[in-house]
Amino acid sequence: MKKYTYSILITIVIIGFYFAEKKLDTNYYKGIKNESKQSSNQPDFNYLPTSTTGAIVKHAYYTLSYSEEHEQSEWVAYRLTKEHTTYNNFKRPYFEVDPLVKTKAASWKNYKKSGYDRGHLCPAADRKFNKEAFDETFLTSNISPQKNSFNAGIWNNLEKQVRYWVKKEKELYIVTGPVFKNSTKTIGYEHVTVPSHFYKVILKNGKQPKLICFLLPHKASKKPLSSFVISTDELESLLNIDFFKELPDTIESNLEKSSSTKGWKFINF
């Protein structure tokens, strides 16, 4: 009888934790949801790329296209300004499942003991100007499996390089994502795909627009960041995605066929 009673109690506790977690996931974003209507975060220029999945989710401080097949975003896009680089020592929140992904984003639990970091696509350090913005980067739709040697190394250097650039350029539009081509490894019970590469496309818009595109193999590297620059046309062919499609055709064509680093000053790490 005791054994039977314990079994019932354990079952009740497990069910209780399940519904508590679901409630937490939903309530987490409730207070931030209305922020997406703020005009200060919605520039007139539509900087969003095309989506191969059609599952676009607009958050307050970034927009994403979710791939249910790979259980992560195929891209995350956002506007970064000089003012956004203001530093606040916010406490890191827990990762939360993104309640706005209709097919349900993968749980952070897939990453436990997987050997891979929960690698941010929109970096938390790019959103330290505001607690809500910072917390929003810890939604699971904004992470991909990354080797620690990559995440804490060359990828971290690229993120710092972008923050260096925005202090000079004042405003940048950034699209970041994983590459799944030839990726066969997965992690966790939801089979989250481990990307083979990661990319970052950075646009300076205005009177003298410029564009730079990076494609990095998912591994540690001591090579200079400039060695990973490719043309945006090459990346578009690889991903079947059109970046910055609302730029005038002549400007878009000239920018996207170039792999030049001219006008982009690189810092040493």
The pLDDT value given to residue 38: 43
Residue 17 lies inside a defined structural domain of this protein: no
pLDDT reported for residue 219: 97
Tell me the C-alpha distance between 243 and 48, whole Å.
7
pLDDT at 19: 47
Q: Which helix (H) or strand (E) holds 72?
A: strand 72-81
Query: What's the Cα-to-Cα distance from 160 to each of 116, 147, 153, 172, 205, rounded to whole Å?
Result: 21, 18, 11, 14, 20
| Residue 16, domain member (yes or no) | no
Q: What is the pTM of this model?
A: 0.86
Q: Domain for residue 21, yes or no?
A: no
Give residue 36's pLDDT: 44
Q: How many domains does the chain have?
A: 1
In a domain, residue 106? The reply is yes
**Angstrom distance (rounded) from CA 238 to CA 106:** 25
- The CATH code of the domain that includes 163 is 3.40.570.10
Q: What is the pLDDT of residue 76?
A: 98
Residue 263 within any structural domain of the chain = no
Over residues 140-190, the pLDDT tens digits come to 999 999 999 999 999 999 999 999 999 999 999 999 999 998 899 999 999
Low-confidence ranges of the chain (pLDDT < 70): 1-44
The per-residue pLDDT for 146 is 98
CB 1 within 8 A of CB 111: no
Q: Which residues pair with 203 in a beta bridge?
A: 173, 211
* Phi and psi torsions of 50, nearest 5°: -75, 160
| C-alpha span between 106 and 101 (Å, rounded) | 10
d(CA 142, CA 100): 12
118 and 108 in contact (C-beta within 8 Å)?
yes
User: What tens digit of pLDDT does each residue of 23-42 get?
Assistant: 445 554 554 454 444 434 55
Residue in 175, 215, 171, 168 with CA at minimum distance from that of residue 47: 175
Cα separation, 12 vs 190, in Å, equals 24
- Residue 145: give the domain boundaries: 31-256
Residue 264 lies in a domain: no
Q: What percent of the chain has pLDDT over 70?
A: 84
